[in-house]
Structure 1
Amino acid sequence: MAFDLGEFDARVKGMPLPLLYAVGTGIALLALVILRFISNSLPAKSPPIFEGTPFIGGIMKFIKGPMKLMHDGYMRSGEVFTVPVLHKNFTFLLGPHVSGHFFKANDDEMSQKEVYEFNVPTFGKGVVFDVDHKVRAEQFRFFAEALKSAKLKIYVPYFVQEAQDFFSKWGQEGTIDFAKTFSELIILTASRTLMGREVRESMFHQVADLFHDLDMGMLPISVLFPYLPIPAHWARDRARAELSRIFARIIQARRESKATEEDILQCFIDSRYEKVYGGRYLNDEEITGMLIATLFAGQHTSSITSAWTGLTMIRDKASFKAAVEEQRQVIAKHGHELSMEALNDMKVLERCMMEALRLFPPLIMLLRQAKAPFAVTTSQGKTYVIPKGHVVATSPAYSHRLPHVFSRPDEFDPERFAAPREEDKAAPFSFIGFGGGRHGCMGSNFAILQIKSIWSVLLRSFEFELVDTFPEPDFESMVVGPKPCRVHFRRRSQPL
């Protein structure tokens, strides 16, 4: 059948204008879809595209959850792939072979600011992700000073005292949920070591409630629309303003009395810039923002890691027994005092904690924005160039379970961290439970000592068993902890 161009032209001219627009739009969209399919399948130096249905496929994959997205993308494309989402491209780098630049690059090459700006309403203006990288580098120096070894030695007795006081209120036996229990305890230790004596002694419950409102104001929708006018954001903003007023009074009282306290708040009060702002001291709003940022960086991660450490040790009876035996050995060497030196000798407990963190890291993804293109080479020898402007993601939760990185990756095996195996050191950035490189967690030693203090108190005084089956991770939460799981405790008849 011959195609009559003149007849086609006549039919088109006879169409109603709205119908003509609809046909034209449909043809244009079809052409775009075809072109997208073709471009996605062409060989290129850029990472392979993992999208499926053009324009909406990436959105649908994120909706199904990041763990499924990463698993499906890895099975299809390997360690490197790009998922287009609306106007952004998310490129995933899974495993140590491809994530080196992510961790080692400076802020001019791989930037945190653009991807974490949703934290600004919570942390406040003028701190961390609301400042350029030169100011942020100075503020990170203040964090590092507050968390150096000499300071940590001062904080350890506070960790121990809070844990002993907290667990002394337990009866001879009972049933608890570790996630809830450790969340309550960590905010107590944080209030004493971070926010100060004044908060811990006279306004703990008020401040804890305000921090709860801040926490509840950080929702998945907040990542895209941090200023969306919704009740959770209104409560967040009221809590942030009230915290500013509370800490302004505490800071002013300390400055007037010239009192010297041994906590992180005092470290921030005494800190001054060296390379920016003319060398001035931090103002009240900056101090409050730094305190909030520090608490958010550590509270959930420490409480969740404490919970997983206990759950995994209780399930693996050999590890729990080894950790108890280590406590006996430490007591024989150091006495009953839980000093920093005693805690540092607890290698078995530390390996159990690290293995729990490997299997169940609280943060699913770490993000940066590429400010310049860079190349990566996979474990199979394929090289890709990541374009400028891509949001780049790596994942402790997925990378820690790659079989070419860790042997039998789904098994709880704390000895993988012991010499001579040391699987975490086989390649740089194999273990990223505390991040790594330029922006590795500065509070990692603080967290390790805190969790060791808590579990030392528990191991010396209690026995445990799971009431429910071992819990799954709750991937619905922004910071991933265990789903509810009941644990039965029984106080030892003879404490260690």
Structure 2
Amino acid sequence: MELDPKLLNIATLLIATLIAAKFIATFLIPRSHKRLPPVVKSWPFIGGLFRFLKGPIIMLKQEYPKLGSVFTLNLLNKNITFLIGPEVSAHFFKASESDLSQQEVYQFNVPTFGPGVVFDVDYSVRQEQFRFFTEALRVNKLKGYVDQMVFEAEEYFSKWGDSGEVDLKHELESLIILTASRCLLGEEVRNKLLDDVSALFHDLDNGMQPISVIFPYLPIPAHRRRDQARKKLASIFSTIITSRKQSGKSENDMLQCFIDSKYKNGRPTTESEVTGLLIAALFAGQHTSSITSTWTGAYLLCNPKHMAAVLDEQKNLVNKHGEKVDHDILSEMNVLYRCIKEALRLHPPLIMLLRSSHCDFAVTTKEGKEYDIPKGHIVATSPAFANRLPHVFKDPDSYDPDRFGPGREEDKAAGAFSYISFGGGRHGCLGEPFAYLQIKAIWSHLLRNFELELVSPFPETDWNAMVVGVKGKVMVRYKRKVLQC
């Protein structure tokens, strides 16, 4: 059978074009001199989407031993380059916003926090808003907050009986909502509107789904409830702000700090901005504190050695200061601090930190390999994975608070950014001191007043949540201690 001359000409032309293109690509177009990171094997177009949604930690555990501390995952039309470990993550934490930006990768927060705050404003405005947070968390403010934390803990646990069984996770979540409401949202919410506001925050929280990261405005029921809750919260806080301004009343809470805050040009904050900043503060603090409080308790109740150490510390502080607990006394609780810090190392609630790269930069691994990270990549690191690297932390999967003690300090031995539960560098968590004080206030009260025993199995991690916490109930049997006369 003879070939159609027209088809033969087309085929010849196509082959010639492909050969010419190959020749041009090989010899005429300059080759890239970039030393690109290795790429995770994945499907065409969708890349590693399914593996990523299944769980980034699972993917990291599989790829880190094969590819090392720097590698790229293709995800739809995006490239995510992971930097794992202190040797390669310094630029991630220290780079300026113009080089590595938060704004693009955290746009999914905008529907929750609202317009005109945090990731919905340019960097200069966001820096000023972060200054408002910093001023609201200064030591003189924290001292007042601690008094409220201690009061809430005493009130809450006074309602426990002489003995019984409770779900510790539920109890700590409930208490921290009360504490956060008083310290952050104000007494109007704490005393009158707590149930309403808590329900609305629940809808906001449930509106943050994994799909929300990619499609934050997708018209699904969870997003509709989120948007309705945001409007109702704005209305509630508008009423409270107006009432305070008209009465001239001033309170010791974060709400008041935001009301009184002014930008450098003298402009005061708007009601919408105050509401958005409060929502951001509660989102940042409520989950992380309740989750870390629960893990701290679970580990202490399963480790007699460390439980004995924190009990001895509390006994010594009572002998020194009496039953009083304030900011300065909480600051002396170094043993309890290390126990909380170790629980947070093993279970950081935020398992992924992200940036958008606006320029090329280079990193060098601990083995001496150099890689160039291209402009346009999303750059990521994982506290949940990096906090368990065996070359940084000895027996990384074991609970050992003494690793942070004098003479060891494993979080410093491998250099800066070895311990990243609270992030670090330019974007370190502003609420870290508040979180430690809150958890110390709760656990110092429990340790002094109750004998506790974990009666359910040691809890598992809930990897399905956006903020990774404790799965299921954490049942604890308690018995109130008899006060010594």
Question: For this structure pair, what is the TM-score category when the shorter chain's length is used for normalisation?
Answer: over 0.9
Range moving further from structure 2, 64-73 or 300-309: 64-73
Matching residue of 1:410: 397
- Specify which of 374, 377, 380 is matched with residue 361 of structure 2: 374
Query: Could you tell me which amino acid in structure 1 is paired with residue 134 of structure 2?
Result: A
Matching residue of 2:431: 443
Matching residue of 1:363: 350
Query: Gaps spanning 5+ residues in structure 2: where?
Result: 19-24, 26-31
Per-residue CA distance 1:245-277 (angstroms, 9 max, x = gap): 111111111111111110000000110001xxx
* Cα distance in 1 for residues equivalent to 2:364 and 2:312: 45
* Cα distance in 2 for residues equivalent to 1:155 and 1:495: 27
Per-residue CA distance 1:427-452 (angstroms, 9 max, x = gap): 10001111100110000000000000
Q: Secondary structure at the match of 1:473?
A: strand
* Cα distance in 2 for residues equivalent to 1:111 and 1:456: 39
Residue 434 (structure 1) aligned with residue 422 (structure 2) = yes
Matching residue of 2:410: 423
Per-residue CA distance 1:105-141 (angstroms, 9 max, x = gap): 1111110000101111110000000000000000000
- Specify which of 251, 254, 260 is matched with residue 270 of structure 1: 260
Q: Secondary structure at the match of 1:203?
A: helix
Matching residue of 1:196: 186
Map 1:451-466 to 2 at 5 A: 451-466=439-454
- Specify which of 29, 48, 52 is matched with residue 38 of structure 2: 48
Matching residue of 1:318: 305
Map 1:75-474 to 2 at 5 A: 75-274=65-264, 278-426=265-413, 427-474=415-462
Q: TM-score, normalised by structure 2?
A: 0.92
Q: Secondary structure at the match of 1:432?
A: coil
Matching residue of 1:38: none
Change (3 A) 1:49 1:341: same
* Cα distance in 2 for residues equivalent to 1:244 and 1:490: 40
Matching residue of 2:29: none
* Cα distance in 2 for residues equivalent to 1:360 and 1:98: 22
* Cα distance in 2 for residues equivalent to 1:228 and 1:63: 17
Per-residue CA distance 1:304-338 (angstroms, 9 max, x = gap): 00000101111111111111111000111111111
* Cα distance in 2 for residues equivalent to 1:299 and 1:194: 10
Query: Could you tell me which amino acid in structure 2 is paired with residue 389 of structure 1?
Result: G
Identity, % of aligned positions: 55
Instruction: Give the deviation of 1:11 after TM superposition.
Output: 8.6
- Specify which of 474, 477, 482 is matched with residue 489 of structure 1: 477
* Cα distance in 2 for residues equivalent to 1:486 and 1:340: 29
Instruction: Give the deviation of 1:43 after TM superposition.
Output: 9.8
How many residue pairs get aligned? The number is 468
CA RMSD of aligned residues (A): 2.3
Q: Secondary structure at the match of 1:89?
A: strand
CA contact 1:462–1:489 (8 Å) conserved in 2: no
Q: TM-score, normalised by structure 1?
A: 0.90
* Cα distance in 2 for residues equivalent to 1:294 and 1:280: 21
Query: Could you tell me which amino acid in structure 1 is paired with residue 160 of structure 2?
Result: W
* Cα distance in 1 for residues equivalent to 2:5 and 2:152: 84
Instruction: Give the deviation of 1:279 after TM superposition.
Output: 2.1
* Cα distance in 1 for residues equivalent to 2:479 and 2:50: 50
CA contact 1:113–1:129 (8 Å) conserved in 2: yes
